[in-house]
Amino acid sequence: QVRLVESGGGSVQPGGSLRLSCETSGSISTFVAMAWYRQAPGKQRELVASITSSGNTNYAVSAKGRFTISRDNAKNTVYLQMNSLKPEDTAVYFCNAISFPAGAFWGQGTQVTVSE
């Protein structure tokens, strides 16, 4: 079974930065894509950023220009660098991995809080 462990969450003021990490139990090269999602109170889980096995990235409109997803294959880790954070970025951030044919796997999440 694939296991994903997120870390790096915390509390920051608006305009601050955080770097989230997602360490996997296996080689990230086995996943066709990895992604970061977030879920705020009272909201549905939404895609923030994704990266494919070929290195292509995609971002939510709300994240584009502020967030950067990257990977380190040697460390089996995917990162989400978050800059210029806003209160509306407050959410639990989840790491997601897609494999074929097993499907999707999720981490337990890490809390990000942006407030004055």
Model pLDDT, residue 30: 86
Tokens of 109: 């999440």
Model pLDDT, residue 4: 96
pLDDT tens by residue, 40-92: 999 999 999 999 999 999 999 999 999 999 999 999 999 999 999 999 999 99
The mean pLDDT value for 9-28 works out to 95
The mean pLDDT value for 92-106 works out to 93
Model pLDDT, residue 49: 98
Model pLDDT, residue 82: 98
pLDDT tens by residue, 6-15: 999 999 999 9
The mean pLDDT value for 14-27 works out to 95
Distance CA 13, CA 57 (A): 27
> What is the distance, to the nearest Å, from the Cα of residue 11 to the centroid of all Cα atoms in its chain?
16
Is residue 52 within 8 A of residue 114, CB to CB? The reply is: no
Is residue 57 within 8 A of residue 51, CB to CB? The reply is: yes
Model pLDDT, residue 10: 98
Per-residue pLDDT at 27 exceeds 80: yes
CA-CA-CA-CA torsion sign (50, 5, 9, 111): positive
